[in-house]
Structure 1
Amino acid sequence: MKILIQHGRVVHPVTGTVLLQDLLIEDGKIALLDRGLNAQADLVIPASGLVVCPGLVDMHVHLRDPGLTYKEDILTGTAAAAHGGVTSVACMANTSPVVDSPEQIEYILNRARFGSGVHVYPIGAVSMGLRGEEPTDAEALKKAGAIALSDDGCNVDNANLMRDVLIRARRLDMPVLCHCEDTSMVEGRAVNEGSVSRQLWLEGRPAIAEELVVMRDAMLAEETGAHVHICHVSTARSVDIIRKMKKKGIHLTCETCPQYFWLTEDEILTQGSMARVNPPLRTSQDVKGILAGLKDGTIDVIATDHAPHSAEEKARPLTKAPSGMVGLETSLALTLTGLYHTGKMELPDIIRRMSTNPADILHLPKGRMSLGVAADLTIFDPDQEWTIDPEQFASKGRNTPFAGTQVKGRVKYTIVDGQIVYQDT
């Protein structure tokens, strides 16, 4: 099938340019890219006023499959991704059973063939059962199709085990994605340690719990030469540590999520458990630090940490409810609203952090706008206003503190390998 996209604002994140161009898709690939194309096509998409960019790559998603499919499954999770303009997702290993064996990798890949057309890339566990006691067989996981290793959801407290895993991961050229929170300092605690925790008479999760492990894992990356990727950075000091360590030439990358540049710990006072996430929402000073890290390139990636839970679970009291929020269907709109429309970042810089950079970190052939590459594309109206309504989500999860938020930027088409997997109607 040939698709001609006409008169779009095409974002080239690698060169940092936005050009008025037409684009022809043929046999699932970008065949032509120029102005004034008059090629014959089976479908013409008029894209005047719309942005055309490489398909978004979300490198931090919880699809909950296998075993927790009442929260989400691969079909609903990939449908949510398509609605959000995400063409590739990397799914974390904290399922039930844990993705710590080749058989679980194969299960995910087989299930993904019956999903919503979005690419699914499984991440294998660092340790068996996420217990931090025995390393997984990283080589076997990679052979089965794992693209990275992570115990996300759990910190790897055992530094010796982490070091051994990083040595093996370097040999395999696999990144290790690290959830950085010292367990002994945060276990059982629901909110950031600060003014809100004091108001609620709760023990808090101190920022230092994140920052200590960020420094440890950065130092291990330096010592082993492995590629360490820090997940969901939430504090200004973590950004400072990563910035300094990067300047030393360490193979270190990191991500943050929209909630960490949109919200503060005060959200807990009005939204309770709906605003409970790990790591927790922090202070306004931390938000400033995250924004600075995004602007200067210290933070490489904007991911979602899409973490669906049932309505019953999130209705529990703050100290009993699980942590996490959904984000696949709102991430682009929140990022455009919070960063692009406020003048903090330009479109190519945003798309680089949501497509090109995560693809490069995971060694995926994605995130480029050039001839011959697979036609994974996101087309969106950057100026369309809408209100976030969880009841309209394709995800099973409705747990978002952004319900009712007015945003600006709407996905119109999501295209994967030249096939339209989502169209806004």
Structure 2
Amino acid sequence: MSSLKIKNARVVLHDNDLIQTDVVIRDGKIAEMAPTLMVKTDRVIDAKGQLLMPGLVDVHVHFREPGFEYKETIKTGSQASARGGFTTVLAMPNLNSVPSTVETFKQVQALNQQDGVINIDQYAAISAGLTSEEVDDIQALADAGAVAFTNDGKGVQNAKTMRDAMRAAASVDRPLVAHVEDESLIDGGVMNLGQRSAELELPGMDPLGESSQLARDLVIAKATGVHYHVAHLSTKESVNLVRIAKQNGVNVTAEVSPHHLLLDETDIQGDNALYKMNPPLRAPQDRMAVIGGLLDGTIDMVATDHAPHAVEEKDRTFMGAAFGITGIETSFQLIYTHLVRSGVATLEELTNWMVKNPVADFNLAAPTKVTVGQTADLALFDIDHAHTISADEFLSKGVNSPFIGETIYGQTSMTFLNGEVVYDAANDK
């Protein structure tokens, strides 16, 4: 393999302290690091003081293939991920066909390996069609390579099904990931049930739909000993439940999406479906609670819930549009700008949320440090210059983001997988 030197990069030492370094990559690994390295390599990249980080990790993306390629493909989704600075992602199973059997799982897995430009680990479904009450053959799917199990997009409505799934996931030492939503409390809602839904005269989704099912699951998780992971936590009550569960020894981890950290229902100024997602944007007190939960360790990581849709599926009213927003190309930038640059959090904490904790909690092989001997999955970010998010720059097929037009810092300059460039912003111009 070729050799590469990245010179004049800055890496995180601790908190927000940065040190300047040169990095030499050989055979896909970091071979040398020092303030100045006078060694010959096949290629030299001048980072010009930009931030060099281990490649980001996202445990919650939707790449839509097979079955919904008009929304996204593995190729476009992975290219968008590389543009966001991500080198490892975990892809959800709400596909057609749903990976509920070894055969369908291996078909998706083969597509990931064939078309992905980054590392893609694949979820298998808990049950057929994401709705069946009969649990899949968890042992066989784990043996086939399933990174974890989830029916994301659907809450598991039957408690016995969830108990059986947790027991099975625990027996193969894989996380059980839950989209917590009691459908009997959603009742056709399209946004959070609250003041804004009343003002807009739109049906609301009761926040109890999330927290009540979460409470059920946490009790079952404690009884089964499974590693239970909560997807896209969004309410104050849910944060409190996870906090208490952790204090009581439940093996629970949780994620929060950038949009639930940075937006709430007061941002919905009209019937604009770019703000329609599930879970919905909650009340301001919920947003403050998830920020607090992230800062105190109740919530372990940031995950995008990248959910691309075709333009015509979002260019509708709240009542007719699809749920979800795209997020993989703006996640680091938004979190850096609003939480780190503003002084709420540190770069070290951001690294924990977007690299170290996902790797540790999901037992992934991805590197977590920029240090000698590590696989050279890396990303360079320009944290010193402002950039305005534009729909026409996305590599994802989905442009359904309420953050378009926002000015941020931390645009990705380059992304490397095993020392090879998989994204270069210079080629976008």
TM-score by length of 2: 0.95
User: Where does residue 57 of structure 1 map in the other structure?
Assistant: 57
User: Where does residue 252 of structure 1 map in the other structure?
Assistant: 252
CA distance in 1, matches of 2:380, 2:165: 39
CA distance in 2, matches of 1:116, 1:6: 28
Q: Give 1:95 shift.
A: 0.8
Alignment of 1:303-314 (within 5 A): 303-314=303-314
CA distance in 1, matches of 2:108, 2:29: 25
User: Where does residue 360 of structure 2 map in the other structure?
Assistant: 360
CA distance in 2, matches of 1:328, 1:422: 14
For 2:157, the aligned partner's letter is D
Q: Residue 421 of structure 1: SS of its match in structure 2?
A: strand
Q: Which moved more, 1:152-161 or 1:290-299?
A: 290-299
User: Where does residue 282 of structure 2 map in the other structure?
Assistant: 282
Q: Which moved more, 1:147-156 or 1:97-106?
A: 97-106
User: Where does residue 394 of structure 1 map in the other structure?
Assistant: 395
Give per-residue Cα distances to partners, 1:39-60, cap 9 Å, x unaligned: 2211112223211111001110
User: Where does residue 11 of structure 2 map in the other structure?
Assistant: 10
User: Where does residue 226 of structure 2 map in the other structure?
Assistant: 226
CA distance in 1, matches of 2:348, 2:395: 28
CA distance in 1, matches of 2:8, 2:257: 31
User: Where does residue 341 of structure 2 map in the other structure?
Assistant: 341
Alignment of 1:134-145 (within 5 A): 134-145=134-145
Contact 1:271 1:401 in 2 (8 A): no
User: Where does residue 109 of structure 2 map in the other structure?
Assistant: 109
After TM superposition, which residue ranges in structure 1, 4 or more long, deviate above 6 angstroms?
Answer: none
CA distance in 2, matches of 1:233, 1:136: 25
Give per-residue Cα distances to partners, 1:253-311, cap 9 Å, x unaligned: 00001101111112333362111000000111111111111111111110100001111
User: Where does residue 34 of structure 1 map in the other structure?
Assistant: 34
CA distance in 1, matches of 2:119, 2:167: 29
Q: Residue 269 of structure 1: SS of its match in structure 2?
A: coil
Q: Residue 360 of structure 1: SS of its match in structure 2?
A: helix
Q: Which moved more, 1:378-387 or 1:152-161?
A: 378-387
Q: Give 1:17 shift.
A: 6.4
Pair 1:150–1:187, CA change in 2 (3 A): farther
Q: Residue 210 of structure 1: SS of its match in structure 2?
A: helix
Q: Kindly indicate whether residue 329 of structure 2 is the aligned counterpart of residue 329 of structure 1.
A: yes
CA distance in 1, matches of 2:271, 2:22: 45
CA distance in 2, matches of 1:271, 1:295: 32
Contact 2:228 2:253 in 1 (8 A): yes
RMSD: 1.6
CA distance in 2, matches of 1:103, 1:267: 44
Pair 1:16–1:242, CA change in 2 (3 A): farther
For 1:409, the aligned partner's letter is G
TM-score by length of 1: 0.96
For 2:181, the aligned partner's letter is E
Q: Residue 356 of structure 2: SS of its match in structure 1?
A: helix
Contact 1:268 1:276 in 2 (8 A): no
For 2:273, the aligned partner's letter is S
Alignment of 1:155-234 (within 5 A): 155-234=155-234
CA distance in 2, matches of 1:396, 1:333: 19
CA distance in 2, matches of 1:116, 1:134: 31
User: Where does residue 416 of structure 2 map in the other structure?
Assistant: 415
User: Where does residue 350 of structure 2 map in the other structure?
Assistant: 350
Q: Give 1:65 shift.
A: 0.6
CA distance in 2, matches of 1:373, 1:188: 49
Q: Give 1:84 shift.
A: 0.5
CA distance in 1, matches of 2:290, 2:273: 23
User: Where does residue 292 of structure 1 map in the other structure?
Assistant: 292
Contact 2:99 2:108 in 1 (8 A): no
Contact 2:20 2:49 in 1 (8 A): no
User: Where does residue 21 of structure 2 map in the other structure?
Assistant: 21
CA distance in 1, matches of 2:39, 2:241: 51
For 1:8, the aligned partner's letter is A
CA distance in 2, matches of 1:380, 1:59: 21
Contact 1:66 1:96 in 2 (8 A): yes
Q: Which moved more, 1:250-259 or 1:202-211?
A: 202-211
For 2:316, the aligned partner's letter is R
- Structure 1: gaps (5+ residues): none
Give per-residue Cα distances to partners, 1:33-86, cap 9 Å, x unaligned: 333222221111222321111100111000001100000010000010011001
CA distance in 2, matches of 1:75, 1:196: 38
CA distance in 2, matches of 1:132, 1:268: 35
